[in-house]
């Protein structure tokens, strides 16, 4: 079975998901599904705890009634990304790096996603737009790194990715290509032989920033995939979001860092959630976040402590707390 088929077989009906995990969907309030559709691959569901409604993996993907409660400070575009959207599909916000929203969707829909209200329709890349993006990068000698994001950039077929890589490798001032992806965690089949072969061919530094929030997301399959990537010169990092009810305690974060390291991945960022409409129930206050972080620092070697950051519009980088 290829990865597209596995993905198509995932869950998009929250009632079926609950039934599969041994819950009674009658008791749940799932109307938030209409705001942002449920989507989760079977592989990720297999890592959830059967019969546990508080499973930290389930909480990340299950639409719940609390999403419909309006909170004035939780808005549609807290990062004001529109300001940096110089071309469709391109965000140039920080010096030396541009971010390209390659794909309009992901294999999983995370309920806390800061891009859940992002206009992917306006940002889908066609060939003419890709040419404009290339021209922009070519004429900006200060850009050294291109970040593929989305959505999930690995939703794009490997052949298309290969084309993008080839174009970028022709630009002398581009040193690094970076992917921000949750695919290896939620659909490890995506990292197939063709994809690994593509990584092996790239003549630039390649960085892949995974997105795992909880140690339970790492398994034997992720280990195999990470090994294959590392053996083909991909540097592996991980970013997490600090999420109430998922990983907002020292024990979980400590165990996540250790497990990532045991699988060859270094923790990079721990993001405070952005104030996005529909996600208030995931919020962790800055004071609590700092306390958890101090405890984490006291218990881990420095290289296993991710940087605690928040995205504040108008800053020159993500802001360290
Ligand atoms: C997070 C982000 C980056 C990358 O920032 P790093 O600190 O280099 O990881 C680049 N562009 C945008 C728009 C971002 O949101
Ligand atoms: S994988 Fe990332 S971009 Fe996609 S829904 Fe989850 S958090 Fe959002």
Q: With a 6 A CB cut-off, is 209 part of the ligand 2 pocket?
A: no
pLDDT exceeds 90 at position 70: no
The residue nearest atom 11 of ligand 1, judged by CA position, is 99
Q: Ligand 1, residue 269: give the atom nearest the CA.
A: 9
Contact assessment for residue 174 and residue 204, using Cβ atoms and an 8 Å cutoff: yes
pLDDT of residue 317: 93
State whether the beta carbon of 181 lies less than 6 angstroms from ligand 2: no
- Asked if pLDDT for residue 133 goes beyond 70, the answer is yes
Q: Are 259 and 274 in contact (CB under 8 A)?
A: no
Whether this prediction's pTM lies above 0.85 is answered by yes
Using CA atoms, how far apart are residues 112 and 67, in angstroms rounded to an integer?
10
Max CA distance (Å), the chain: 58
pLDDT tens for residues 191-218? 999 999 999 999 999 999 999 999 999 9
For residues 98-112, one letter each, b for 16 or more C-beta atoms within 10 angstroms of the residue's C-beta and e for the rest, the string is: bbbbbbbebbbbbbb
Q: How far apart are CA 92 and CA 147, in angstroms?
A: 10
Mutate to test the pocket of ligand 1, among 80, 87, 96, 97 (most ligand atoms within 8 A of CB): 97
Low-confidence winner among 15-24, 81-90, 246-255 (lowest mean pLDDT): 81-90
Summarised one tens digit per residue, pLDDT across range 102-113 is: 998 999 999 999
Contact, 52 vs 15, CB < 8 A? no
Contacts of 104 (CB under 8 A, 6+ apart): 120, 121, 123, 124, 150, 151, 155
Q: Helix 158-169 and helix 193-201: axis angle, to 10°?
A: 0
Per-residue pLDDT band at 116 (split at 50, 70, 90):
confident
Residues with CB under 6 A from ligand 1: 91, 93-94, 97, 99, 147, 317-318
């Amino acid at each position: 079975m290829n990865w597209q088929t596995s993905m198509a077989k995932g869950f998009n009906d929250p009632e079926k998901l609950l039934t599969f995990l041994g819950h009674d969907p009658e008791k749940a309030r799932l109307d938030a599904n209409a705001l942002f559709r449920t989507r989760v691959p079977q592989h990720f569901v297999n890592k959830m705890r059967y019969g546990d409604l508080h499973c930290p993996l389930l909480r990340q993907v299950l639409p719940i009634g609390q999403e419909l409660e309006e909170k004035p400070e939780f808005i549609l575009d807290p990062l004001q990304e529109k300001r940096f959207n110089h071309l469709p599909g391109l965000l140039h916000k920080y010096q030396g790096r541009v971010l390209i929203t390659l794909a309009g969707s992901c294999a999983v829909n995370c309920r806390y996603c800061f891009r859940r209200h992002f206009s992917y329709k306006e940002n889908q890349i066609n060939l003419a737009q890709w040419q404009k993006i290339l021209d922009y990068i070519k004429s900006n000698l200060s850009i050294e790194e291109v970040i593929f994001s989305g959505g999930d950039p690995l939703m794009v077929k490997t052949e298309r990715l290969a084309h993008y890589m080839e174009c970028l490798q022709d630009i002398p001032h581009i040193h690094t290509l970076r992917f921000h992806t949750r695919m290896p965690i939620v659909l490890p089949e995506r990292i197939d032989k063709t994809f690994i072969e593509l990584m092996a061919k790239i003549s630039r530094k390649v960085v892949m920033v995974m997105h795992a929030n909880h140690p339970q997301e790492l398994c034997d399959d992720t280990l195999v995939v990470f090994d294959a990537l590392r053996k083909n010169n991909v540097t592996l990092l991980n970013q997490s979001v600090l999420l109430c009810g998922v990983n907002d305690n020292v024990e979980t974060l400590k165990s996540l860092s250790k497990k990532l390291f045991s699988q060859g991945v270094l923790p990079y960022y721990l993001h405070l959630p952005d104030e996005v409409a529909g996600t208030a129930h995931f919020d962790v206050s800055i004071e609590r976040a700092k306390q958890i972080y101090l405890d984490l620092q006291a218990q881990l070697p420095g290289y296993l402590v991710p940087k605690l950051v928040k995205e504040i519009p108008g800053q020159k980088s993500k802001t360290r707390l």
